[in-house]
Structure formats: C-alpha cells, structure tokens
Amino acid sequence: MTTTAPAGATIDTIPLDLRGLKCPLPVLRVRKALIAARAGSIIIVHCTDPMAAIDLPNLARETGSAIERQGDMDGALVFHIRKAA
C-alpha cells in the first residue's frame, strides 16, 4: 500500500500483524521490516506482547526511526513507525 506525500512522492505503508508472537519475535520482525523498507516508509505494527510497549520505542530510538502513533485497537498494541531517512 502507498500513500501520496506532499511533494508528489509516494510513501510505502507496510502492515505487520504480529499478534500472538512473544518477545523477542515482534521486535525482530519489525527490525527486519525496517531494514527492507525505503526511507520514509511507515510500518504499521499490531501486536499483543506487552513487552512491545518497551521494545519497539527502544528499537525506533536505536535505528533513528520515529514512532508517529502508538495506541490500542481491538486488544492489540498498534504502532506507526516511520523509517529514518
């Protein structure tokens, strides 16, 4: 899925459904997705592991990426992570 950026460029949106996976799998899968994604891409993560609330912000900080949104939806933690340029 892609969305249009203000300057006419497209931004990739990468959904990751990691519900049911336990630590360390969610953070490892997100790291792998960040490596494969283009700069500026948004990775939308749905997970149920409560440790992700700690691990994913730490991963974003380590990689220079940004968590643009974080919340709960349908019993899952949801993160919108933008890959650093």
> Which residues are catalytic, by number?
23
Residues 65-71: contacts with CB under 8 Å, at least 24 apart: 65/34, 68/42
pTM assigned to the model: 0.86
The predicted model gives 74-83 an average pLDDT of 96
Tell whether domain 2-82 is in CATH 1.10.760.10. Answer: no
Q: What ranges do the domains of the chain cover?
A: 2-82
Output phi, psi for 57, to 5 deg: -60, -35
pLDDT reported for residue 72? 95
CA 3 to chain centre: 16
Which tens digit of pLDDT belongs to each residue from 3-21? 545 555 677 999 999 999 9
For the chain, list the strands marked E by DSSP.
2-4, 10-18, 42-47, 66-73, 76-82
Which tens digit of pLDDT belongs to each residue from 24-75? 999 999 999 999 999 999 999 999 999 999 999 999 999 999 999 999 999 9
